Structure 1
Amino acid sequence: MGGREISTGQVIKVAVGTSLGTTIEWYDFFLYGYAASLIFPKLFFPPSYNPLTALLVSLSTYAVGFVARPVGAMIFGHLGDKLGRRTGLLWDLILMGIGTGIIGFLPGYSQIGFLALTIATISRILQGIGVGGEWGGATTWLTEYAAKSRWRAFWGSWVQQGVPIGLLWASAILGLFATFPSSSPLALLNYGWRIAFWIGAIAAVIGIVIRLALLESPLFERVIEKGEVSKIPSIEVWRKYWSKILLLAASWAAQNAGFYLYSVYSVTFLTGIGFPKSLGLLSVTVSALIGIFITVLFGILSDKIGRRLGMMIAFGFGLAFSFPYVLLLFSKSFSIILLAQTLMVVAVLGSYAIIPAFFAENFPTKYRYSGTGLSYHMAAPFAGGLAPIIVADLVGEKYLVNWWAFGAVFAAYFIISLIALAVLKETKGKEMD
């Protein structure tokens, strides 16, 4: 493997480095989602604007980041398959930090009108391009280090910890400003959200320093030694593997859509039915913390029973739970709502643990960064980006009447992914070349 023997200690170092970087990127990404739902409709629109219209437009700027993610996967997949995983991952973190920092300094509508929303949208595009290059590179880098391990999915699940930890971080920071100090109930709206974005930009700098200390992927070094580096990897992988890319994208669409419905829209829904915003954020925070352990357990499970079966178990449960989940939110009991959030985490984060190994095992080394990144992010505009907007539009402000639409959209995405998984082949135990 590129002339280097890989020890468990080296795998752990890369696992820590990649998971820290993805945590920072997902914190920034989720933070914008919360801000688009809870802050921007009040900050970037005139007071006369219809609240629902402002929410839908604000969520649309959030969705732009998802549209940009496949572009980022193409750009950084090309860099990563030509110049190395480490190089691609450094530059996408730089881009993410810039986008996040700009948002933190934006004035509101009262100062510069709709120009504020325009700049926020452009910054969101930068975030989307950055996160588009992150996942494919991080999973590729780590799974290639763990290529000889029989616990490949377990190691791959370390990258996925960035999602629940990033979500935990974002919801905790905003939840803190929503409840403290008690003498300033508008702390979150006035300055709290800005501090949260500044923290993300500073963390990106720290992540860049950490990644500079890590070594290149041994499998990619072997590709360099053999002179097999592709000239245009992100184009060639699409030409050779387009059907597999689309099927893999569909196979995790339920996780992508479900996660953003559970973590972002559910807070809007709970607030709409009269449940305190701070407790809604807390339910997501605590369930995301539990999700860290669920992710590890499903990674281990898929190393035992296989990638497809593990994901199908998670999605099958999610399909059965789609409508009960929404009904439980109406309880307005924190303990019951937390139970509902945690059970939905089993479906969306259990499946998420498996896809790094599953996706990486579907592509050869010379195309792996591009192939995994495209497979992952092709689903983003139509799943995570679109699902909250669809639900917000169908439910509107009639939460008691149109609640069924929330559950129906959940169920539809679970069905799509189960069909795709039925077509794809198992990859557990496959040699990574």
Structure 2
Amino acid sequence: MKYSVKEPKSAANDRFILSKGHAAPILYAAWARTGLFPVSDLMNLRKLNSDLEGHPTPRLNFVDVATGSLGQGLSIGAGMAYVGKYVDKSPYRVYCIIGDGESAEGSIWEALSFASIYKLDNLVAIFDVNRLGQSEATAFGHQMDIYLNRLNAFGFESHVVDGHNVEALADAFDKCSKTKGKPQAIIAQTYKGRGFVGIEDKDNWHGKPLGDKASEVINVLKQKISGNLNLAIKPPGSAPVVDLKSVKLSEPPNYKLGDLMATRQAYGPALVKLGKTCPQVIAMDGDTKNSTFSEVYKKAFPDRYIECFIAEQNLVGVAVGAGCRQRTIPFCSTFASFFTRAFDQIRMAAISQANIKCVGSHCGVSIGEDGPSQMALEDIAMFRTIPKYEWPPYLRPTSSVSARTAASLLERTDPHKWH
């Protein structure tokens, strides 16, 4: 990856999404190894006085989005890649690590389809196929041909590799960087607890401490560590400077008192007025644009419109990725009732402090003729349960612990401030 260690959130940096958020310890260790914060801070993993939580969140300046509720990372990565290719038109690439267990989630397959449709050749999906889930073996175990055939069918350039062979991985990443016109997938065959006697490829070790096996495992790891590792981090390319503060209506509403106007019909023209003042406003929809009237924005700014088709979970996930690092302001629209199926994505978007706008039409019983399946009776209650996470954008010059100390000086005793 190409990035600046001093500026983890630089718009020009390559992006990394750890969709399998429970693997956070290796993400923390990798960034500590770059020198972003002291390696000694890693000993504070999952302690109450540390930002190194069990799953990554944007409390950390090297994390863009919160992950851990599985199956969402690839949609977010696809949103980042779309913006990189079609909006920023910059060379940065997006990498997403996905667990084989979470690949059973339908949102993963929605994202695969989206990435292929839009030929996101700046996106690399890395599947960690270690055969074991949390409670038992995954559906397909180590049947690598199944993963390969499915990914190829979705239009990916796919490579099956030994996930423990660094040279094989490097070669696969090199091939990916040269692929044009289609997204890439690296399908890595791995084994949980590789090299640990009595643990490797064994069930019932997910998320458990090593106990009396700890000393033995640590000795095995020490023998594998090379003291001659020299990280040569390549600097990133460039990305355009954008201004999201300029967004406002180009002109006020001009409806006359007494005019009858559906709120959804007013939405499209209002969005166009925002787009006239801020080119970073983008519209997204789930194949309901002629009902939500987001098609008005598509006609005005066709290069700022993303059709996500009937895949609402991916719609919200792509919006989260598109809004990351303040590159765009995404407005995603569909029938209000259909946002309920993306509730988990919306919940995680709040934890990520994502700047997205969810616009639901056909609220309440107003669509009575079509029956209860189309009626949005739960959406307001659903959104009102989402807390507003107010985490101050404090700087982390040295370590995550110092950041938390700074936060305590701000008298932030509870990160979940409700509004």
TM-score (norm 1): 0.22
Larger RCO: 1 or 2 (CA < 8 Å, sep 6+): 1
> Rg bigger for which structure?
2
Structure showing the higher helix proportion among its residues: 1
